[in-house]
Amino acid sequence: MTVLRDEEFQYDSCDRLVDYQCKGLRPLVNEKGHKLQHQDFRFDQDNNSVQVLITFPDGNENKQNKTCYFYSTEDPTQLIRITNTHPKYPSEVNLEYDESGRLTRDEQGRTLQYDTPNRLRAVQFNDQILSQYPYDAASKLVCQEIQGKLTYLHYYGDALIATTGDSSKVSYICDGNTYWGQTLQQGELVQTQFWASDSHESIWRGLISKNRTTSIINSMRLTATVQGSRL
């Protein structure tokens, strides 16, 4: 049997993920396009992530990247600097905040703007607005405008039930507490996904129906290890 992806997760006594390993033909890929083989996570006494060591599969010239996180002395939970050792990652990233503790400059150099109730209002880069976020009277996000493209959010009470765009609609299947799936309508395409989760609400199996044709999209066996003891 060919294994596409075999993942193992280890947690410490505080339920924090401290070790991740992945084997198989289709490992996870991060935002840089690198396949992930192993991740090691370290934390400080304030429960902050202080180091992530990533190991890439054989074939990469630089097999590892160590990311370190640094925090403010005035606010020990406020992340202010990130460093990396891999040449394809930024060697240093500095974050900026205002007097209210709101992030005003993110890891990509974008400027974040807020309204009076401290809600994110807009994101811009080099004086160009990239996205805007309007809210209703109940402070629920009702629309996202990203580079001129509008996506509207629809609610039933406090639960998000659908999003609509120029040519697409996504409806979420929910019992009021748990989301069980979604339906995507885009032109003549109608695609429905149903999810099965465990007692921790982690999705472990999915079914997809595309124009009345149904197939299994994901099937995983999850094994958790806490302090070296397999559960």
At which residue do the structure tokens 């109730």 appear?
117
Report which of 191, 197, 196 is spatially closest to residue 214, judged by C-alpha positions. Answer: 191
- Tens-binned pLDDT, residue by residue, of the chain (231 aa): 777 888 899 999 999 999 999 988 888 888 888 899 999 999 999 999 999 999 998 655 678 999 999 999 999 999 999 999 999 899 999 999 999 999 999 999 999 999 999 999 999 999 999 999 999 999 999 999 998 899 999 999 888 999 999 889 999 988 777 788 899 998 888 888 887 776 666 666 667 777 656 555 544 444 445 444 444
pLDDT score at 230: 45
Tell me, what amino acid is at 143?
Answer: C
- CATH (residue range 1-94): 2.40.128
17 φ, ψ (degrees, to nearest 5): -70, 120
C-alpha to C-alpha distance for 105 and 103, rounded to whole angstroms? 6
Q: With contact defined as beta carbons under 8 Å apart, do 56 and 47 qualify?
A: no
